[in-house]
Amino acid sequence: MAKMHRPKWTSIIVGPALAALTAIGSVEAADCPRSDALGTSRVLSVDAKTTPRVGLKSFPQTLPLADHEVVLTFDDGPRPPMTSKVLAALAQECVRATFFLVGRSAAEYPDLVKRIAREGHTIGHHTWSHPYMARIPADAAKYEIDRGIASDEMALHGVSTTTPSTPFFRFPYFEQTQAQLDLLQSRGIVVFGADLWASDWNDMTPEQELKLVTERLAAAGKGIILFHDPQARTAAMMPAFLRYLRENGFHVVHLVPAVTSQKNANAH
């Protein structure tokens, strides 16, 4: 078994993001109550100026992760009861993740959105209704982006605004046009792809999903991992996956926006 690292949540921050932590009220640098938990090893600030697009499945570059460092991301929520089960698994191991919310679901379950933030996770955006963005007109795509952000912000802060408090966005199905990428970059919003995924949209057992994603992670050695929190199989396998990370020497990195990203977003 690989040596376990301490679960204390330490802020090892790249760039000018110390102030960003202050700006995100949900993040509390509290010690983990379990001494044997996986924990969150460091915080990484992501700046739209220097890394406007990340994730090797879609783009040439990704986040500057060290070997055995992973970023956990979840798409398509919130959706009870599965999102709640995923949150419980993350809390048990004192792990922080990033959730890319569908605006329609955020509007339906605002209390769950608030819980995600309250438990210290980062909230990104994933359109209003999860369409194939490259197959709809430009004005419809902009509407999907803006209404999705506004719905997430309303659920989170009670204010309907198209200026995201966390300027992170992921396209449904990783499908986008260059014009859409340029639009988001002009607004200081980081576009996330992924480095590997669990393929949890396919019909499989939790055990099969665990085997698939751990084999892919062992081969890649690090990266941004994509899950879908509304998937029952993912919720069921998450405790075992987090144990795998802990027992094999992996370290979880928590993402926050850089101050410059927030300023750029606030300018629009």
- Average pLDDT estimate for 113-129: 98
Q: What average pLDDT is seen over the chain?
A: 88
pLDDT of residue 3: 34
End-to-end CA distance of the chain: 50
CA distances to 26, 99, 146, 185, 262 from 161, in Å: 19, 19, 8, 18, 14
Buried b (16+ CB within 10 A) or exposed e, 221-254: ebbbbbbbbbbebbbbbbbebbebbbeeebbbbb
Task: Indicate which residue of 121, 228, 251, 254 is catalytic.
Answer: 228
Instruction: Say which residue, 14 or 49, is predicted with more confidence.
Output: 49
Of the two residues 266 and 33, the one the predictor is more confident about is 33
Q: Is 133 helix (H, G, I), strand (E, B) or coil?
A: helix
Confidence tier at 31 by pLDDT (50, 70, 90): low
Task: Give the residue-averaged pLDDT of 191-210.
Answer: 98
Catalytic annotation present for 31: no
Which tens digits make up the pLDDT trace of 50-91?
999 999 999 999 999 999 999 999 999 999 999 999 999 999
Question: Is 111 in the active site?
Answer: no
b/e map of 55-75 (b: 16 or more CB within 10 Å)?
bbebbeebbebeebbbbbbbb
Assess whether pLDDT exceeds 60 at residue 208. Answer: yes
Q: Of the ranges 26-35, 75-84, 97-106, 188-197, which one carries the lowest mean pLDDT score?
A: 26-35
Mean pLDDT of 215-244: 98
C-alpha to C-alpha distance for 62 and 215, rounded to whole angstroms: 20
Q: Please pick, among 47, 75, 76, 200, the residue that the annotation labels catalytic.
A: 75
> Is the pLDDT score of 7 beyond 60?
no
Name the DSSP class of 134: G
User: For position 35, what pLDDT does the model report?
Assistant: 86
Q: Between 101 and 10, name the one with better pLDDT.
A: 101
Q: In a 3-state reduction of DSSP, which class is residue 17? A: coil
Predicted model pTM: 0.87
